[in-house]
Structure 1
């Protein structure tokens, strides 16, 4: 573990001491974060997780997690992971009035696995560099089931040394794909990838509705298409869940709407219209207005059915 007397920097990159396993802090124990942190603890990583509600500590201990309600307990971490819902939550944890960045030692790395904007990611990089800290963006593709099964796709970008120091962490969670040296690159890929899933869910919902109104079996259709032209995890898993009406929370509709808005802002910045994503935005707004905000974004299929009178 690094401390101020053992700090090493190579080519300006913070380097975690390889003689001892890095101490990992984890902030963001929602459905995804809890699954990810549990897997890291099961793999023997030296991990301490921050939780706001003391009543959760016993449940987390049962999952093999060391938990604390004091952020200060994470300040000697080599790597701090954030798995939080949006820009504001990450900014508050690190740079808000009671943020930990001022007290986090030089050489520590912030591994941001949240789905956030490129603008925020670029700002976080500058703030951490000013303090001599590392910053790596590594947002993930997958839902809580995939997280528990270690099947996440992790899109990583940052300085090479910092990324390498985080690989022992991310490789415990799924497949790591390093795509560049600027953290914001990973955030853009994540946002646009989510738009591929969002538009697929919208189209699946519309098609399932047509099939049901014409008296045909939608599962047969999904089986045919995923066994031939659309052999993808998104179409297979989400298609079956949509048909079954399994809308248990993974990415809830408000969080999906947040991602859609961020992606549309990136598109506007690029001067590139995304009309299909604009449709998804309106459908998510409709679903939330109809009281479906607590459901997974597969409930786009429910919105399509309701609008067809089913």
Structure 2
């Protein structure tokens, strides 16, 4: 059963029951992770971020986030948040050479907010349990702008005694949905949700291309559709960005392709074909091959235009 935990104060922000004495480790300080860590620090939390590049330290400190290039500085964390790009990166930080898990105290919790496979999530749960540690999957829907505005949708699954310790953190970052006790449930939902966005972007790109080739204004189409049948954030925000050719990266094409491949693998395990997602996979491969890999996945619209000779 879906548990909607969106409790907000009179300013519209999430009400947080602070545990300011807890130390929050944070690994994965990209565009999303930086915004999330900065918001937690702004709440007065003790956030310590692990970064590989020393030049990041001063930038993070300016946001109120203490930062280190020394992994052992995270060993005394009560909760460690990961916002990393893939399965291998998450596993390496905890269970690879110099992995954190061996030195993290029993009872500490790994709050995994990365978009990873269900198989990786299940393996992480078993490894953390072997070390006497908690594991909660909490992947998020939203882009860096939503992260900065505390408007993420956080999909949480894990043992209640673990996720209750993390709830004030997820509430602080946006709207929390607790969907079950098996962490892999959250990861599957996240992957499939991303496929809804991916296929919407592909269709929008195709439609915009048709309209342009027929000499009509695609913004007029998007305005009509989003004002009536498709009044969603995805269609409104991404539709206008696609038409404007605004491809500033939130989720880059290679990371989107990673998610698509993970979703298709999950579908294959279920014996449930996803042919529309297969089309998106091929488009992303094409876009990356053409040198668009540094662009946001809204550049699927650019690929559609190129395929039509525009």
TM-score by length of 2: 0.93
1:62 aligned to 2:36?
A: no
Deviation at 1:77, TM superposition (A): 0.6
- Tell me what 2:207 maps to: 207
Deviations 1:12-50 (A, max 9, x none): xxxxxx976321000000000000000100111111111
| SS of match in other structure, 2:250 | coil
- Counterpart position of 2:115: 115
CA deviation vs aligned residue, 1:93-133 (integer Å, no higher than 9, x gap): 00001111000000000000000000000000000001100
SS state at 2:172 partner: coil
Give the Å deviation of 1:63: 1.4
Q: 2:271 — aligned with what?
A: 271
Structure 1 distance, partners of 2:170, 2:21, is 14
> What secondary structure, in the 3-state scheme, does the structure 1 residue paired with 2:55 have?
helix
Runs of 4+ with >2 A deviation: 18-21
How many residue pairs match? The answer is 293
* Structure 1 position 161, deviation (Å): 1.2
Alignment match, 2:236 = 236
Report what 1:186 is aligned to. 186
Deviations 1:161-184, CA, capped at 9 Å, x for gaps: 111110111111100000000000
1:38 matched to 2:35? The reply is no
Match of residue 226 from structure 1: 226
Which residue does the alignment assign to 2:93?
93
Deviation at 1:65, TM superposition (A): 1.2
Question: Structure 2 vs 1, CA of residues 106 and 307 (structure 1 numbering), >3 Å: closer, same or farther?
Answer: same
Partner of 1:52: 52
Task: Structure 2: state its 5+ residue gaps.
Answer: 1-17
**Contact kept in structure 1, 2:76 and 2:105, CA below 8 Å:** yes
Q: Secondary structure at the match of 1:115?
A: coil
Please, what TM-score do these two structures have when normalized by structure 1?
A: 0.93
In structure 1, the partner of 2:168 is 168
CA distance in 2, matches of 1:214, 1:103: 63
- Deviations along 1:191-227, one digit per CA (max 9) or x if unpaired, are 0000000000000000000111111111111011001
Q: CA deviation at 1:57?
A: 0.8
